[in-house]
Structure 1
Amino acid sequence: MNTLQKVLLALSVGSLMSVSAQAALNYAGQPYAGVKIGQYSPDEAEDDAVSYGVYGGYKFTPEFGIEAEYLTTSDTDAYEDRFEKSEYSADVYGLYATYDYAFPNTALYVKGRLGVAKNEIEVEITDKVSSVFNESFSVSDSGVAGGLGLGYNITPMASIEAMYNFYPTIEFDDGEDLDSNGITLGAHFKF
């Protein structure tokens, strides 16, 4: 984790803690939990993977909160030619500070989130000529992650939201980087 990522994380956690302490005086808070489905897109893969997962959080004020998520994907083709085929799957574990802006007199809101996540990709390479050359490996990295989306309060206790997400860059030993992003559609219930 580089210095900029550490500074951003410290600022977001510090801001969240100070706002939540001030808001505790006049806002009871609200927990929520939900499910999501979407698309996970690493830069180097031929196909995008179907992603699905769970998330939950707690709103300290109507605007500020904290959210955790677990996202996984299906096995998806990364590359294929006459001699070789590779597939990948991914897992993302994240913890975010959130900010919601509700549009006045509507059920619409904009949601932003920023935090840290672990992005892990498993790769399986199949040699079509000789199985001796088959291999599988896993790469992962942790760092800054976040997203921006649009939500709609169906009822006071249920919401749906569509979100663009960016995940931590995976840095390889040879100096190459793998960036991943995705879009999700989620639904959650408030308690």
Structure 2
Amino acid sequence: MFNKMLVVMTAACAGSLMAVSANAAVNYGNGMVAQPYVGLKFGQYDLDHAEDKGISYGIYGGAKFTPNFGIEAEYLGSSDEDYQTGRLKRSEYHADVYGLYGTAEYLFPGTPIYVKGRAGVAKNKVKIDAKSSAYAQHDGSKSDSGFAGGLGFGYNFASNAAVELAYDWYPKVENVADQGDSDASGITLGANLKF
């Protein structure tokens, strides 16, 4: 129940931000309160105890309420990758992350380069699929919600477009396939358009 509520709340927040975008200005000099943006990202998802790192992909959107502070929502998924290999333990995992963050940016004076931090809450869901009947008892998914955040650099290559390289950490997932708690993190490259 909590999982569905978190998904609905994240979607509602993202929808609200997009609704604000219809009335928002591109710059703050016009007296408007928000500058919305939407983007795509891809990269690498790293889960403790997993044999392979996953390829991550996602969508994110948000709004800056001042030149330095804003809010951001994202969905990030991963490719299916080997969780454990071996003679008797063969399984794959897939991850989904839903997050809502506050953001802070600092634009280096006289340059199009900025540093961006974000902190908030996220849900990290890991699904395990056994490839061997000897490992079938570990089929299923585990998820945890908690603190998440990230730090990265961005480059404004136009007044309404930017690229961002970021390192993010997600909530740890408890007792994945009886391997104990699994920390999760990722590196992503994203591109966004501002409205």
Q: Place the TM-score, normalised by the shorter chain, in its bin.
A: 0.7 to 0.9
User: 1:175 Cα shift?
Assistant: 9.9
C-alpha distance in 2 between matches for 1:143 and 1:121? 14
The residue aligned with 1:166 is: 169
Report the AA paired with residue 165 of structure 1.
Answer: D
The residue aligned with 2:155 is: 152
C-alpha distance in 1 between matches for 2:126 and 2:46? 11
Structure 2 matches for 1:1-191, cutoff 5 A?
A: 26=31, 28-127=33-132, 131=133, 134-135=136-137, 136-172=139-175, 176-191=180-195
- Tell me the SS of whatever aligns to 1:148: strand
Deviation sequence 1:26-75 (CA, Å, 0-9, x none): 55320000000000001111110000000000000010000000000110
C-alpha distance in 2 between matches for 1:33 and 1:26? 21
Deviation sequence 1:57-108 (CA, Å, 0-9, x none): 0000010000000000110011111223110000000000000000000000
- TM-score by length of structure 2 reads 0.80
C-alpha distance in 1 between matches for 2:40 and 2:194? 13
- Structure 1 pair 88/102, CA: closer, same or farther in 2 (3 Å)? same
The residue aligned with 1:20 is: none
- Structure 1 pair 120/183, CA: closer, same or farther in 2 (3 Å)? same
Q: RMSD in angstroms over aligned alpha carbons?
A: 2.2
C-alpha distance in 2 between matches for 1:152 and 1:83? 47
C-alpha distance in 2 between matches for 1:74 and 1:144? 23
C-alpha distance in 2 between matches for 1:172 and 1:132? 19
- Tell me the SS of whatever aligns to 1:183: strand
Alignment: residue pair count = 166
Report the AA paired with residue 104 of structure 1.
Answer: P
